[in-house]
Amino acid sequence: MSLAFLDYAAIVELKLGPLAISPHGIGTAFGFLAGAKLLLGATRRMSIPDDHILTALTRAIIAALVGARLAYVLNHLGQYSDRPLEALRVWEGGASLLGGITAAMAVALPYLHRRGHPLWPLLDAAAPGLALGIAIGRVGDLVVADHLGKPTDFFLGYRCTDADTSSPCVAPIGQAVHQPALYDLASVLVLLGLLLWLGRHRLRSGTLFLVFVAWYGAGRVVEDFFRIDETHGLGLTASQWFSAAAVVLAIGTLVARRRNAAPEPRSEATAEAGHQR
């Protein structure tokens, strides 16, 4: 018998009359809204008009939905090689968090930059909101028992039952599997606390965002070893390759920007991050 004690009944969907709503979707929506509120608090102190941020966020959420699905499909091409049109069936699930975040930033940042807003302070302003949004979204993952991983005897494993879960439980009933979403939640909550603490200090602009990328990317590299996913060389998933590249780039940029450089005056975004405690 597994030592795991997490054997709660997952809530895969909520019935509201004829509608069926996923708690995962609710968590994602609330995560986005909470992160956006944290961002707006910082950008107001930077004197950036709310309508610029709201327009950027509207474009970002659309881009995130497309990017999340596209990244998932590219990572699982084998599933769609014979039936490519099934890649459009988004209601059946399948999305990449990293793909969504990347697409959202690729759309929102150029829009804000064209309006004369500095990118590094904006990225610092966004970092705590990103961490908060991911954390809330992971709660939704846990409610529906999504991203269930490889079999384990770890005491925080999820004990498989015959009840429905969002992703299949690969171990026999009564045995346990890893819950990468739980590990991700714990890591990103520590990261959120770190970002809020760092935001109270005088830092070079861009530091908060680069710390976010380095920490979260490293966490995803480790976490994916417990997942069940397609690999693409050296036994690594696409998320691990992407995350590892992001970690190297973030750390390299941090070192390059800090080498022989005196600290900059504390930016409004950094100051606001500290006030959001």
98-149 residue pLDDT tens: 999 999 999 999 999 999 999 999 999 999 999 999 999 999 999 999 999 9
2-60 residue pLDDT tens: 455 678 889 998 888 788 888 888 999 999 999 999 999 999 999 999 999 999 999 99
Residue written as token pair 């939905």 = 65
76-99 residue pLDDT tens: 776 766 676 666 676 667 788 999
Residue 274 pLDDT > 50, yes or no? no
222, with CB counted inside 10 A (0-12, 13-18, 19+), is middle
Q: Rounded to whole angstroms, how far apart are CA atoms 56 and 216?
A: 23
Q: Rounded to whole angstroms, how far apart are CA atoms 210 and 30?
A: 25
Residue written as token pair 């008009």 = 49
Domain ranges of the chain: 14-48+117-275
